[in-house]
Amino acid sequence: MMHQGSVKGLSSTMFVGPQQWSRELVAMLDGRAAAVEDFSAALGVVLSLQPKLAVIWGGLDESQALAFIGRCRQDSADTAIVVVADVPDTASAIRYVRAGAYDYLPGPLNASRLSELATSMNQQQQSSNQARYFCPNCPPGVKIVGRSSAVVRMLEMIRIVAESRCNPVLLLGETGTGKELAARAVHAWRHASSGQFVAVNCATLTANLLESELFGHAKGAFTGADREKTGLLELANGGSIFLDEISEMPMELQAKLLRFLQERTFRKVGGTKDISCTATVIASSNLKLFDQAMAGKFRKDLYYRLAVVPIKISPLRSADRRDDIPLLADYFIRSDESVAPGKLEGLSQEARAELMRHDWPGNVRELKNVIERASIFEMGRHITAASLMIERTGEGPSGPASPTMDFSLEAAEREFICRALQETNWQRTRAASLLGITRATLHAKIKRYDIKLPAQSAAEDKSENVSTVPS
């Protein structure tokens, strides 16, 4: 006799056993399960739905059950199989576990036991994800998906640099390659649990705002400075500050940053007192910073001060990182909350091949966007090639491709900004609110993406009640 109740944490479940037995278990899951009476029907469900859990009644024919478990291990390796026996038998338990069963449980099975099973499976899944998805030498608290030789080498270099006294640290890599995660790895190894990790995107703030954000300002330093402000450098003292997209930092501010890196002291805007700071400075750029410096677009002296040990992060298209593409895709499908966890089981073979053919100019960000888009349109349990909707331009590993839409992250962001501006009749404060960013950030992005504003919008924009200090 089974006790009724409600069970959370289990989905995509199948019960194999007598009708009454299965019916009661399905009721505990509020109908979120399939129930079959024999193994031939069960195999059909496994092959078509690939459930996460299959529960077998121990009173069924053992030889058929063992054959079923063996077939599941071949065709649906991610399906966990549990055998429930009203009359436990140690020898049978050993045979079931050796055949590949997740567990052998004495009956009866009730809501409490099902909940315990869900908890145990979730914990094991997390442990499995650690081994399956994450690089084995990640620092504590930082999980980097990838097991390719490129990721392993990158993390080893980060560890060596972090354990040295090298300061600053320079990270170089294309957009979307994971530079902030790499920066967090530097911080985790160098500072462990002490000190803050402070991040600032140099491309999103104007020169004046960026200076105030980094160094802080004294009371009365400029109009509107009615109180003293603590800068991000001061907040990061004893920890790390991450200067993302440092190539976008204005030249005049680069000089002040260089002085800080040399002297390890700085002054607030309008201040007279030198402030000491021991923060680890981690800078990143998606451009070839050396070329930028040689072209006069970045200070040479600052470049050479930053580039003590430049750490390069390989793009997804590189030969030594391509193996991470299906791993990342599978991780996004199964683990990322923005990709409807539980809805999908994985990739079809055709979809996997399609992902491997693409050169991923937007790297991990682009891959995540593609998987998220596919999860919206895919009606089955596995993402198919048709659902991926990968758009290509030019030539890639797959050969010539027709010019199509630009699905890069930058293009998508520019499109959303233009839509928000049009929707608000080009009023920047309202558009910024609609986008969930500050007006200053919107201004910087308009300038970055060279978005042309209608002439009449300037006058309209002046009438808006705006704040020039980012939140």
Q: Which CATH class is domain 164-312?
A: alpha beta
Average of per-residue pLDDT across 123-137: 73
pLDDT value of residue 11: 57
For the ranges 66-70, 170-174, 443-447, the one whose mean pLDDT is highest: 170-174
pLDDT at 29 over 90: no
- Options 3.40.50.2300, 3.90.550.10, 3.40.50.2000, 3.30.43.10; CATH of 13-128: 3.40.50.2300
Average of per-residue pLDDT across 420-446: 82
pLDDT value of residue 427: 85
Confidence tier at 396 by pLDDT (50, 70, 90): very low
pLDDT value of residue 338: 53
Whole-model pTM above 0.75? no
Confidence tier at 283 by pLDDT (50, 70, 90): very high
Give the lowest-confidence range in 193-207, 257-271, 287-301, 302-316: 193-207
Q: Classify each residue of 94-115 as buried b or exposed e, where b means 16 or more C-beta atoms within 10 Å of its C-beta.
A: ebbeebbbbbbbebebbbebbb
Q: Which CATH class is domain 324-396?
A: mainly alpha
- pLDDT, tens digit, for every residue of 357-392? 999 999 999 999 999 888 888 878 788 888 888 876
Domain 409-462 annotated CATH 2.60.120: no
Question: Within 13 Å and on the Cβ side, how many CA atoms surround 330?
Answer: 18
pLDDT value of residue 205: 86
| Domain spans of the chain, in order of start | 13-128, 164-312, 324-396, 409-462
Mean pLDDT across the chain: 83
The conformation of residue 33, written as its DSSP 8-state character, comes to E
Q: Do domains 324-396 and 409-462 have the same CATH topology?
A: no
pLDDT at 128 over 70: no
Cβ neighbour number for residue 318 with a 10 Å cutoff: 14
Average of per-residue pLDDT across 266-288: 94
Q: How far apart are the first and last CA of the chain?
A: 60
- The better pLDDT of the pair 463, 319 is held by 319
Q: Is 389 left (phi over 0), alpha (psi -120 to 50) or beta?
A: left
pLDDT value of residue 448: 85
Cβ neighbour number for residue 169 with a 10 Å cutoff: 27
Average of per-residue pLDDT across 115-137: 74
Give the lowest-confidence range in 166-170, 342-346, 426-430, 452-456: 452-456
- pLDDT, tens digit, for every residue of 185-219? 999 999 987 889 999 999 988 888 899 999 999 98
